[in-house]
Amino acid sequence: MAYKRQTREEKERMHRRRRRQLLGGVLSVLIVLGAISLITAGVRVTAGLFDDTEERQQYEKLLAPVVMLDPVPFDSLETADQNMLLQAAIWEAIYNEDITKYDRDEGGALILPVVDVDKNAALLLGKNYVLEHHTFSASGMEFVYDEDRKGYIIPITGTTSAYTPEVVKIKNEVQQKIVTVGYVAPPTGFSLDGTLSTEQGEPAFYYDYVFTRQDEGYYLTAMKTSDTKPASEAQAPQSGAQDDVVPENDQLAKELQQQADSASTSDSAAGAPAETTGD
C-alpha cells in the first residue's frame, strides 16, 4: 500500500484534535475533583448542622454555677429561690471576670461590683430580669452587700462544687430550648493502686433546663425534673418481674422445710436394719 503523505492542513487538523482531546481530559478531571470537593464540603456542612458539641459545652459553662448550687426545680423565675439566682449570678461573675482587677476590703475579702453581677446575670436570665441586691446567707457563706461600695463582700473561703454539669441533649422547639443536664458528682474514693481516683463517673440524675427565646437569645426560665434516668436505674429489674421469679419468704421457708424433712426421711431409711426372713 502506497504511503500517503499528510498535507500541512491535515497535520494542523490532527494537532487541533489532540489539543481538544487533551483539554477535554483535563476538564473531565477538574469536574470530577470539583464534584468530590462539593460532596466533601456538603458532608462537612451536614455534619456540622447535627454536631452540637460546641453548643453543649457553652451551656455546660453557663450552667456550672447553677448546678453547683443544686437548686430545687421551678416553673418560672418568679417561683425560683431568689437567693439562689442571686448567688448563681455572683458565681457567674467570679468565674467569667478577671477578679484580680477588683478591690479588697481591710480583711482581704473581694469586693465584687454589682454592675458585673448584673452583667453576668443577664447572660443567664436575660436583661429584662432584675435582681434585688441585698445581704444574704447561702451554702454556709454570707454574702454581704455593701451599698456604699455598690458591691458584694465575698468571704475568703472557697466552695466545693457538689455536682458539675454534663449536657447530654438539646431539644430545639419553636420558642424554647430544652437542655437536659446530667449532674456528675466529683470523683471520690481510691483506685486499686491506692491513689485517689480522678475518674469522672456517670451522672447521678438529670434535670431539664428550659431556655425561652427573648429578643435575640435564649435565657433560663424554668427547671424541671427530666424523664432521662441514670443508666443504673434504667437497667435495674422491675419489682413486678422480681415477684414472678423470687418466691415469697413463707413459700421459701416451706420449701426448705420440705427439703429438710425429705433428707431426714432418706437418712432414716438408709440407717434402718434390713428385715430378715426366718428359715
Percent of the chain with pLDDT over 70: 68
Q: pLDDT digits over 79-135, tens only?
A: 999 999 999 999 999 999 998 899 998 888 899 999 999 999 999 999 999 999 999
Backbone angles phi, psi at 3, to 5 degrees: -70, 130
Report pLDDT for 231. Answer: 77
Evaluate if residue 188 carries a pLDDT over 80.
no
Does residue 90 fall inside a structural domain?
yes
> Could you tell me if 73 and 225 are in contact, meaning their C-beta atoms sit under 8 angstroms apart?
yes
Does residue 166 fall inside a structural domain?
no
CA 206 from chain centre, in angstroms, equals 9
Does residue 22 fall inside a structural domain?
no
Q: Give the confidence band of 65 by pLDDT, cuts at 50, 70, 90.
A: very high
Does residue 274 fall inside a structural domain?
no
Does residue 93 fall inside a structural domain?
yes
Domain count, the chain: 1
* Radius of gyration (C-alpha) of the chain in whole angstroms: 37
Does residue 269 fall inside a structural domain?
no
Q: Which domain holds residue 80?
A: 70-154
Q: pLDDT digits over 19-34, tens only?
A: 777 777 777 777 877 7
Vertex 254 angle, CA 251 and 259, to 5°: 130
Averaged pLDDT score across all residues of the chain = 78
Does residue 177 fall inside a structural domain?
no
Q: pTM higher than 0.75, yes or no?
A: no
Mean pLDDT of 228-247: 54
Mean pLDDT of 162-180: 94
Does residue 207 fall inside a structural domain?
no
Report pLDDT for 51. Answer: 80
